[in-house]
């Protein structure tokens, strides 16, 4: 692929099916333009992009970025469109905990590593548990801040599935503060977003927090 294309990456403000608002579209640079940008960064860092160990680095970085930021290409409504109504009237809490989280800080473009816990109270429909993990990845594989990521997951699940409530908790380490800046390894940031019964009913919220366990300090740098 070496053609510049216009894609769905956001610029300013139009409504999209992921619950966000963007306007306009940006021209996506071609692969060769992206590789040239990586070469420039290598030179800026003080190295020679033409030396043996770095000759293939621009192409490898571009391929890695395609994987890191694949979430921009996800259709979230389609992702959550398949649900199951044959639940034998199951109406208790469903929780998927300790889901591996890999994202990138939008301020420094360095990794955010941790785990997410997602729970909801079904209202006649449930969704395959793998879709919850894919929903997390669809938002995590974008440039992010943890607070926004937490809300996006909860809001999208509530809007599409329409359960009686949703709870999302994320625990993560940010390499923008562990490997640069203040250099504080071992620090974990915890964010939560509760909707419906998870916000309005203290008993439901306590049950959810009990099921995922008390947020634990841990290193997610590896």
Residues identified as active-site = 105-108, 146, 174, 176
For the beta carbon of residue 42, count every other beta carbon within 10 angstroms: 18
Contacts 24+ apart (CB under 8 A), 189-194: 189/114, 189/146, 190/215, 191/146, 191/147, 191/149, 191/150, 192/150, 192/167, 192/168, 193/150, 193/151, 193/153, 193/154, 193/155, 193/166, 193/167, 193/168, 194/154, 194/165, 194/166, 194/167, 194/168
| Helix (H) and strand (E) counts in the chain | 8, 9
For the beta carbon of residue 49, count every other beta carbon within 10 angstroms: 17
CA angle 33, 37, 43 (to 5 degrees): 140
Which residue in this structure is represented by tokens 């809001």? Answer: 155
Q: Is the dihedral of CA 44, 48, 54, 58 positive or negative?
A: positive
């Amino acid at each position: 692929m070496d053609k510049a294309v216009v894609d769905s990456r956001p610029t300013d403000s139009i409504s999209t099916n992921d619950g966000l608002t963007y306007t306009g579209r940006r021209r996506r640079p071609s692969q060769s333009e992206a590789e040239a940008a990586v070469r420039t960064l290598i030179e800026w860092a003080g190295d020679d992009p033409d030396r043996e160990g770095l000759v293939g680095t621009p192409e490898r970085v571009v391929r890695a970025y395609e994987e890191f930021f694949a979430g921009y290409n996800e259709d979230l409504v389609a992702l959550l469109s398949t649900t199951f109504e044959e639940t034998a009237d199951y109406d208790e809490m469903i929780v998927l905990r300790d889901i591996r989280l890999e994202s990138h800080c939008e301020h420094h473009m360095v990794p955010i590593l941790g785990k997410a816990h997602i729970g909801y109270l079904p209202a006649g429909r449930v969704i395959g548990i793998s879709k919850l993990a894919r929903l997390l990845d669809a938002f995590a594989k974008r440039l992010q801040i943890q607070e926004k990521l937490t809300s996006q997951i909860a809001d999208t699940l509530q809007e599409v599935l329409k359960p009686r409530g949703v709870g999302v908790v994320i625990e993560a380490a940010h390499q923008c503060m562990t490997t640069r800046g203040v250099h504080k390894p071992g620090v974990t940031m915890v964010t939560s977003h509760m909707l419906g019964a998870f916000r309005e009913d203290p008993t439901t919220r306590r049950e959810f927090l009990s099921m995922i366990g008390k947020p634990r300090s841990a290193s997610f740098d590896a």
